[in-house]
Structure formats: structure tokens, C-alpha cells
Amino acid sequence: MQNTADLLPKIDSPTLPKNKPTLPNYDAADRQFVNLLEMEDLDKTVVAKPLLVSDLESAIAVAVRSAYQQPEGDEAAHLFLQRLLYRINRLNLFWYDDLRRYNNERSHYLRSVRDRIEAPWQQWEIAQIDVAALQNIEDVKQALRDRAAADVNPELTQIDRYLREQMTEGGYRHLLAIASFDGLVEASRVSRIIGGAGNEIQSTLTRVLIEEYGGGRLARKHSTYFAQMLAEFGMSTEPEAYFDIVPWQVLASINHNFLLTERKRHFLRYNGGLTYFEIAGPVAYRNYLAAAQRLGLSQAAMGYWELHIREDERHGRWMLDEVAIPLADRYPDEAWELLLGYDQEKSIGDRAGLAVVRSIQAATIKGRSGAGA
């Protein structure tokens, strides 16, 4: 039986600086970090001028303690840490933007920051899953099939009904703004697991990626359909345009997938998670489609959801039958990690979904208040 600790980074958590009774200014620390990212030769500068990052370092240490070592994690700390992680992780992909943004993509200092946040965060995440129970499941393939059967068409929840029956057009726009953060560059992380030896599993993953990318034709790429929805409302179609309203729970979902795709040791976990994502995706998309239809929106304002419902239903079957099950056969001793990835993706996704709905509701109340002022 494999030790759970083997799945986690071997990094000591930072200690909280002494004599820091007040909370740091996370917004100021975040702005400082953005400036550091584009600095010429960041590593040499930090060594020569360590005081330059002292406030940032203090903010990180306080935030790690506040987010992951307290019974009730501080929301501001979670948001600050997940924003830092995302800013580092997105350097692994090219966005056709200002080349200076990649000046420090291999910085040792940035890697240190990432590891010191990622380790306690992942320990916190995995503590919420009963790993021992997963390790003791004898028939992993049946467990995967059972999960898929339950998640492909579940009973409607209160969140589902709110989206379908109560979300306003303003709320729908807010949903698009948050979803655009991933929707405009979707499937990018899948590309990180395609390389390597060829076999049937790799071929299936490649088919999923090719369909997400429209077979190499921009007009058919899924992100193009998402951009069309945004354009229909006169919203920005630039990636990351709505960064400031993205809940930390959504950023955590994205960062979690960055971690799993960047570390090949987590290949099984990622594919277990991707299996859940493709199986359960149409459930969420049907909610959004039903809301758009109720609101009487145009076809362009909802076309992405229809496309995804059709294709992800097929992708879910592919992932279960042609990726997850064959991986369980190929790696019988580690097959439980597929279940870990599946269950974590579901848990993290549910948390993010709830956060998005709360954000929509808050924006709707704020909009009504502003309209009545």
C-alpha cells in the first residue's frame, strides 16, 4: 500500500514571521508580485536585494497560516494564494501576449513561491478525502463505473434550480465573465499530458483534445464559441479580462489541474479527474442552456453550451471506457489514484460551482441596489 505522503510535495511549510500582529495588505502584495514577474533577471535581483520581497514573503506566510492552518480558512488569504499560484502556473502555456510576461518563467524564486504555497494547500485538500478508504477498494473499475452512472444524470439540486429558474440576464452575464477565465483557453492543460509513448490511451486523449480544438480550425474551436457568447453581450473576449471577479475556489480548481498535468507522477489522478469532468460537464451545461432559453437569449449567446453537451457526453464515455478503465488494468497497484482524482475533481468542482452561484447572487443584489439608487 502506497503512503499518501508520496502524493504530496516534500516542502516544509513556512513559519509565520514574528511581531506581525496585523494582517498584511494582500492587494498590495499581489500588485508587487505582478511587477516582479516581468522584472529583468528576478532571481539575481532577489538575492541582491532581499528586502524587495520582504513584504510579499510576510504576506505569503501569514496567508498560508490563515488559509490552511485555521479551522475556518480566511477567504482573503485563499484568494491571495490562489492568485499567486495561477500567475505562476499560467507561464507554462503561451498566450500570444507580451513576451516580457515570460521573462522569469524558469525563475528559481517563482518556483520557491509556488512550492511553499502548493505543499500546504495540497495537504489541506487531500485531508478532505478519505484516502485510506479509496486504497482499500478492491474493484476500482467497478467503482469508476458506479461513480459515472451516478454522476451522468443526477437529481437536480437547489443550485441547479436556481440557475435554471431564477438567474437573471445580469446573472447570466456574470456567469459568462467568470467562466470565460477558463472557457477562452479551455483544454490547454490537456495538451500537457499528450506527449510520450503512443498507445490506445494516448490516442483517445488526443482525440478529446483535437475535438476541443475544433480539429485545428479556429472557427470550430470550442473557445471560439465561448468568445461568440461574450461578444453577443458586448463583453470582452480577451483571456483573463475578468480576473478580478473570479472566486478563489475557481482558481483552485484551475491550479489543481495545473499541478496534476505538470507532474507526470499524478497522471492517474489527472485522468480520474478528467473522467469526472467530462462525464459531469453536460449536467452543468444543461443548467446554463435552460437559463438562456428561459431568458429568451439568442442562439449565439448559448451555442457553446449546446456544443459541449453533445461532445462531452461522448468524451465522458471515451474517458471512462478507453482511458480510466484501461489505466486501472495497466496500473493495478496504483489504480485507486484514479478514484482519488475523480473524487477530488468532483469535490473541488462542487465547491467552485457553489462559489460561482454565490458570486452571481451577490452581483445580482448589487445590480438591483444600484438600479434603485
35-60 tens-digit pLDDT:
999 999 999 999 999 999 999 999 99
Q: Which of 78-82, 115-119, 181-185, 243-247 has the lowest mean pLDDT?
A: 181-185
How much is the pLDDT for 10?
A: 47
Task: Give yes or no for a contact between 347 and 151, defined as CB atoms under 8 angstroms apart.
Answer: no
Radius of gyration of the chain (CA): 21
pLDDT tier at 327, thresholds 50, 70, 90: very high
Task: Check if the beta carbon of residue 186 is closer than 8 Å to that of residue 226.
Answer: yes
Measured CA to CA, the distance from residue 155 to residue 161 in angstroms comes to 10
Mean pLDDT of the chain: 92
Report yes or no: 342 and 147 within 8 Å, Cβ to Cβ: yes
For the chain, what's the residue count?
Answer: 373
Burial class, 73, CB count within 10 angstroms (exposed 0-12 / middle 13-18 / buried 19+): middle
152 DSSP assignment: S
Across 26-30, 187-191, 210-214, the highest mean pLDDT is recorded for 26-30
Residues 217-261 pLDDT 10s: 999 999 999 999 999 999 999 999 999 999 999 999 999 999 999
Alpha-carbon span 231 to 269, nearest angstrom? 36
Query: What number is the average pLDDT over the span 278-289?
Result: 96
Residue type, 256: H
DSSP state of 18: S
C-alpha span between 183 and 227 (Å, rounded): 8
Q: Report the predicted TM-score, pTM, of the whole model to 2 decimal places.
A: 0.92
Full DSSP string of 219-276: GGSHHHHHHHHHHHTT---STTTTGGG--HHHHHHHHHHHHHHH-GGGHHHHHHHHHH
Question: What angle (nearest 5°) sits at the alpha carbon of residue 367, between those of residues 361 and 368?
Answer: 95
**Cα–Cα dist 328/326, whole Å:** 5
Among candidates 214, 230, 220, which has minimal Cα distance to 173? Answer: 230
131-372 sits in which CATH class? mainly alpha
Under the banding of pLDDT at 50, 70 and 90, the label for residue 186 is confident
Q: Where are the domains of the chain?
A: 4-126, 131-372
**Separation of alpha carbons 226 and 188, rounded Å:** 15
Integer Cα distance of 180 and 229 in angstroms:
10
